[in-house]
A = this chain, B = another copy of it.
Amino acid sequence: MNDMHADDSTGSPRRIKSIQTASAILEAIQYLESPTFTDICNEVEISKGTVHTYLETLENEGFIAKSGKKYQLGVRLVTMGESVRNQTDIYRAGQDEVETLAEKTGEWVHLTVEYQGQEVTLYESSGDRAIAMDYHLRMRESPQYLYHTAAGKAMLACFDRERVREIIDQQGFVQRTEKTITDLETLFDELEQIQAQGYAVNDEEEVRGMRSVGTAITGPDATVCGAISVTAPTSRLSGDYFESEIPELVMEAANIIEVNLETAGVQKPR
C-alpha cells in the first residue's frame, strides 16, 4: 500500500505544501539579494495575489523584512541561526581551536559541516594576513559544493563511495577554475589519496590563486561531523609549508576538536 498517487521524490510522506512554498519564496529572496515584489513573483511561479499573502505572513512572523520596496530576510533568522550554532556540538568544541589556528597561521580558518551534500560554514576566523574578504563573505552565505573545497573533499573522503556518487549525480560538476575536478574518476582517485594521507588540499580548484588544506573531524560515534581548513593565497601556501607544516597544524587542530567532542559527549550523554 505504498504508492497511491505515485508522486514526487521519495516515498509518499505527507507534507505541508504551504511550507514548501514559503521555503521557495525565502530562497528566492535570499538568492535575489533585495528583490522587489515583482522580482519574487517572477522567480517563483505563483500568482501575484498568493505571493502577496505569503509575503505578508512571512513579514509578520519576522522571517522577512520590507524596507521601502525591497524585501530581505528578517533578523529573526540571525537569532535562529545563532541558536543553531550554539547547539551544534562541533561549533562549541571547535570555536577556540579555529581561532588558535587562525592566529598561528595568520590566514583564514573555516569550520564547516556537510548538509544535504553541500558544505556550510559554521564558523570562521581570519588571521592577520588573511585576504580576499569578498570570497569569504560569499562562502559564509551560501552552501558550497563539497568537491570544490579542501574541507569538503576531506569529508567526502570519509563517506561511503556510493553516497559520494549520489551527491555528484544530484549536483553534477560545476567548473569554477581550470583545476576544478570535473569527473568522478579523478574525484575518487583523490578521495583515496586523501584517506591515505589524512588531509585534503584544494589547489586553486575553486578560486584561482587560492589554496587550502583541510581535514575531517569525526565525532564520538566515528562518523564525520565536520571539517576544518586553512585557506591562503598560493604565493604564501607553497613548498614544504603547504605540503607538511600546514597539514600538520590542521590535523592537530582537528584532533583537539575531536577530543573536545569526546569529552563533551561524556559530560552530557543524554
Contacts and interface: CB of A to CB of B under 8 A. Distances in A.
B141 A56 contact: no
Majority-rule SS of A interface residues: helix
A179 to B, nearest CB: 26
Contacts of A253: none
A13 B122 CA distance: 38
Interface in A116-169: 116, 120-122, 137, 140-143
Contact of A141 (B17, B30, B77, B86): B86
Contacts of A62: 23, 115-116
Nearest to A63: B23
A25 to B, nearest CB: 10
A75 interface: yes
Residue from A62, A83, A122 whose CB has the most chain B CB atoms within 10 Å: A83
A16 interface: yes
Contact of A84 (B72, B84, B137): B72
A53 interface: yes
A141 B82 contact: yes
Contact of A81 (B17, B33, B77, B88): B77
Contacts of A54: 16, 19
A57 B9 CA distance: 13
B14 A83 contact: no
A31 B7 CA distance: 31
Contacts of A72: 84, 87-88
A60 to B, nearest CB: 7
Contacts of A88: 72, 75
Residue from A16, A137, A142 whose CB has the most chain B CB atoms within 10 Å: A16
A85 interface: yes
A145 B58 CA distance: 23
A80 to B, nearest CB: 5
Residue from A20, A60, A77, A81 whose CB has the most chain B CB atoms within 10 Å: A81
A97 to B, nearest CB: 16
Interface string A30-63: 1001100000000000000000011011101111
Interface of A: 13-20, 22-23, 26, 30, 33-34, 53-54, 56-58, 60-63, 72-88, 113, 115-116, 120-122, 137, 140-143
Given A14-B53, A79-B143, A82-B121, 7 more contacts: A19-B54, A19-B57, A33-B87, A34-B87, A62-B116, A78-B122, A80-B81
8 contacts: A15-B57, A16-B57, A23-B62, A62-B116, A75-B88, A79-B142, A80-B80, A86-B141
